[in-house]
Amino acid sequence: MTQQRKGKKFLIYFFLLILLGSLNNISINNTKLESVKNINVTGLINLEKEIFLKNILDLNLKNIFFLNKKEIIKLIEENPLIESYIVFKKYPSTLNVKIKRTNFLAKINKDGEIYIVGSNGKLSDIKFSTEELPYIFGKPEIKDFITFKKILDQSKISYSQIKNLYFYPSKRWDIELKNNIILKLSRDNIKDSLENALKVLNDKGFKDLNTIDVRVRDKIIING
């Protein structure tokens, strides 16, 4: 009798284990079949966010467990408005995308169209900005401009003072300020030539300046 009871108990536990396992599998399968219902995007505004969401939805995301990460990352990294990002899932059906938007630095003509240069080194459509930004004349590589902008940021010049930037085939830069004074900078010693130009610019003894030419090392030419 004791052996029979033990046998019955074993069978009961065995069937319970199968039943519970089946229920758990059904639950997991149902969760896996849950589609992506919510996509939360932060960091972009208005039209930027609207276009980005549309592009995400065009990927036809289905099950949150089987999202194609490569497709999502490719879409994000091709967006010129995005500096950096974090993507994370919130189960069972939400995708969160946290974005750091690029800073707009200047306007430039590229193949007959006006674009905005971002701090990420990418070009965005002019429609995404109403900011007053310096205009770049010439045809620099965007990486050359980003390098030049970093030098400006390390100097005592206020970027908000700059009206236009001129880039020459020799890879030399001129700066036109909003007061119409032009700073002609050296090609090879940008930082030093900029510091020399600013010394003259900030010297109250010099009035009615038009041009400060510091292209030649240790030489300053002033035109009034």
The tokens for 78 are: 């091709």
Which of the listed residues 63, 83, 101 is the one where a domain comes to its end?
101
* 37-92 residue pLDDT tens: 888 999 999 999 999 999 988 888 777 777 778 888 999 999 999 999 999 888 88
Residue 64 has a pLDDT of 72
Which of the listed residues 101, 121, 143 is the one where a domain comes to its end?
101
SS3 217: coil
Residues 108 and 96 in one domain: no
Q: What interhelical angle do 190-201 and 142-154 show, nearest 10? A: 50
Query: Any idea what the CATH number is for the domain that residue 146 is in?
Result: 3.40.50.11690
Contacts of 211 (CB under 8 A, 6+ apart): 181, 182, 183, 184, 221, 222, 223
Query: How far from the centroid of its chain's Cα atoms is residue 143's Cα?
Result: 15
Residues 111 and 97 in one domain: no
Assign 143 a pLDDT band (cuts: 50, 70, 90). Answer: very high
- Could you list the residue range(s) of the whole structural domain that residue 199 is in? 104-223
pTM to 2 decimals? 0.78
Residue bearing tokens 């099950």: 63
Contacts of 118 (CB under 8 A, 6+ apart): 80, 81, 83, 102, 103, 104, 105, 124
Residue 5 has a pLDDT of 56
Structural contact between residues 105 and 133, judged by C-beta atoms closer than 8 angstroms: yes
